[in-house]
Amino acid sequence: MARAGLRSPWLLAALLATLASAPSCQWAGDTKAVRVDFAALGSQLDDVNTRLTSAIQNGDAEHVPSLDKELNAVFDAAMNQASAMNILDREHLSISVATARNCIVDMDRYATSGDMDLLRAQAQQLAPTVTEIKELLARAERTTKAS
């Protein structure tokens, strides 16, 4: 029965018109995409992550929640600009940011409880995810500069 609807010339014409007017996949080379300084986002991420790592290494658990908030703000900024990335990198960024946010929630809990061993272990789990995010931002920077 559903097939009979697709045989209708009007429905088929409307479907084709919709598909033809739909935007193609957004990617960093899209001329309509806003030019974003992904390098600046990468630098901000590196700065906050370095300060967070330092605080944890120095046993400064009381500053971890505020640094985690800063890290989340950088993640928010990156996600707000992700539309300028190609779709695969955008999805990879979404997954990596979600993973990092889960680590951050646990880090806040461990910092509040004062458990430095668990806080250090969680920071070690966060490190490769932050590295992935920095690589995605660097690739987006190269791609947007190439176009």
CATH number of 66's domain: 1.20.120.660
Tell me, yes or no, whether 24 lies in a domain: no
Q: Which of 43, 136, 32 is nearest to 93 (CA)?
A: 136
pLDDT of residue 7: 54
pLDDT of residue 87: 94
**Total of domains in the chain:** 1
Q: How far apart are CA 39 and CA 137, in angstroms?
A: 7
Tell me, yes or no, whether 10 lies in a domain: no
pLDDT of residue 64: 96
Tell me, yes or no, whether 68 lies in a domain: yes
Tell me, yes or no, whether 51 lies in a domain: yes
Q: Which of 120, 135, 137, 128 is nearest to 60 (CA)?
A: 120
Per-residue pLDDT of the chain (147 residues; tens, 9 = 90+): 444 444 555 554 554 454 444 444 444 444 444 556 899 999 999 999 999 999 999 999 999 999 999 999 999 999 999 998 999 999 999 999 999 999 999 999 999 999 999 999 999 999 999 999 999 999 999 988 775
For residues 136 and 92, is the Cβ–Cβ distance under 8 A? yes
Identify the domain containing residue 109 by its residue range.
34-146
CA distances from 131 to 50, 72, 108, 135, 140 (A): 12, 15, 20, 6, 14
Tell me, yes or no, whether 2 lies in a domain: no
